[in-house]
Amino acid sequence: MDRDEFNDDIITALELPGTQLVVFGHTGSGKSTLVQNLLHRVYEKQITTNCMKGMTFEEVVLDAFDELGEFYVDEVTNNVKSSINGRAKANYLAIQTQLQASIESGQAHKQKRYLPPQLTPQRLAKLLGEAGYCWVLEDFHKIEGEEKEKLAQMMKVFVNLSDEHEDLKVIAIGAVNSAREVVETDAEMNTRISEFQVHLMNNDEIREIIKKGCEALNVVIPEKLQDEIIHYSNGLGSICHKLCYFMCDAALVKKTVPQPFEFDYTDLKEALKRYIKSVEDTIKKSFDKAMTINSVENTLRIVAHQEQDGAQIDSLLVWAAEHHIKITKNKLKADLAKLEKEDFGELIKFDENSWKYSFSNPFYGAFALAYFEEQDKKMRSAKKKSQKEMMQLLNEAFKTFTSNVAPEDGS
């Protein structure tokens, strides 16, 4: 779905020679979908590098180089680039040959690829420019430290070469709260980078996703069910899509149906069960990571008892005092900051507009309540548990969580 507040600005940035893009926002907010929907209006082709934790600068460059094989080896051209520059192709093939030779000369069980001296940032930029491809770096926030700095310097190379290749462009996408967390560049680059924060969707935007799907498939999701889907989606288009998909799949709706088909609560309940099952491992792992933070359970308990859109620090402290939970402001803030990070399960998100902290996924909040329900039921201590005790509690909590979210009686 298009996000009207961004469309024109992103298109302008894509068309402006030399401008590089940084798109950031919360996981599931629709960053990648937004970029993909708009890219085709300016570029016929793009290459995408899916960044992973621990990935080096060299690996990112090699991935982009490999993707360009479509143009230089398979000779897939487009309306913008209907012919291939002979010199550029020769350079590409020479580097490719050198890469292949370096692999073959190594031991079979140690086939690590090294960046050839010829494959410099400038050379890659020129190859991309000649091909007329845009380069999308997905999950760029996962690149760390020195490697991220090298890629930031590469952006400067792209800017400098934009006089020769007007459509030379990098789009760095990161699931973080600020552009600086995606890529930190020099002050001189500030005017050459356009930053776009993609916020979570509001209720009307989530409802629009549902309506468009209903129109396309000739199905009916009553307003009350739409409200339920919106509630569980909590601003995340990805959850909305998945719940609606599971509803259709269970009803065997694979394409537009000839006669209108209306869903009921039973279909939503089945979709919720399937969604919960699909994320079971993710939820358990996320909470397992979170529990490595010393005495974090009080913080999670406090956040779990707030409204779905969360609360500000002072409100969280007030709730804690009213419910006789001892925690300092510094401890609460430190825990919340850690819980925003992937290393600690990424359970919490911070909304810079409202200054509220909430669970990054509404199902995390529901699971947290089930977790504490199980812990309190058995009068278990909140002190550090063994791995076996933790997994047992997480498994019991998951059963309670499933029953609470999708009860058998449909209530």
Write the single-letter amino acid at 137: L
Q: Where are the domains of the chain?
A: 3-198, 203-263, 280-405
Tokens of 147: 């490697």
Residue 80 has a pLDDT of 53
Q: What is the pLDDT of residue 72?
A: 85
Query: Residue 384: its pLDDT value, please?
Result: 61
Q: Residue 50 and residue 67: Cα distance in Å, rounded?
A: 12
Neighbours of 349 (CB within 10 A): 24
Q: What is the pTM of this model?
A: 0.78
- Where the chain has pLDDT below 70, the residues are 1-2, 75-83, 101-113, 175, 177-188, 378-385, 408-411
Instruction: Give burial (CB, 10 Å; 0-12/13-18/19+) of 252.
Output: exposed
Q: Phi/psi at 223 (nearest 5 deg)?
A: -60, -40
Fold of 280-405: Arc Repressor Mutant, subunit A (1.10.10)
Is residue 24 a contact partner of residue 196, using CB atoms and an 8 Å limit? yes
Q: Quote the pLDDT of residue 109.
A: 42
Using one digit for the tens of pLDDT, what is the confidence trace for 58-86? 999 999 999 998 888 776 655 555 467 77
Beta-sheet pairing, 193-198 with 46-50: unpaired
Find the helix packing angle between 265-290 and 362-377, rounded to 10°.
70
Q: How far is CA 277 from the centre of its chain?
A: 20
C-alpha 286/C-alpha 30 separation (Å) is 21
Phi-psi domain of 253 (left: phi exceeds 0; alpha: psi -120 through 50; beta: other) = beta
Cα separation, 258 vs 261, in Å, equals 9
pLDDT tens-place string over residues 154-170: 888 999 999 899 889 99
Q: Distance (Å, rounded) from C-alpha 239 to C-alpha 230?
A: 9
How far is it, in rounded angstroms, from Cα 145 to Cα 172?
Answer: 16
**CATH code of the region 3-198:** 3.40.50.300
Burial class (CB in 10 A: 0-12, 13-18, 19+), 140: buried
Torsion angles phi and psi, residue 10, rounded to 5: -70, -40
In this prediction, residue 38 carries a pLDDT of 92
Q: Which two tokens stand for residue 71?
A: 């143009």
Bridge partners (DSSP) listed for residue 50: 138
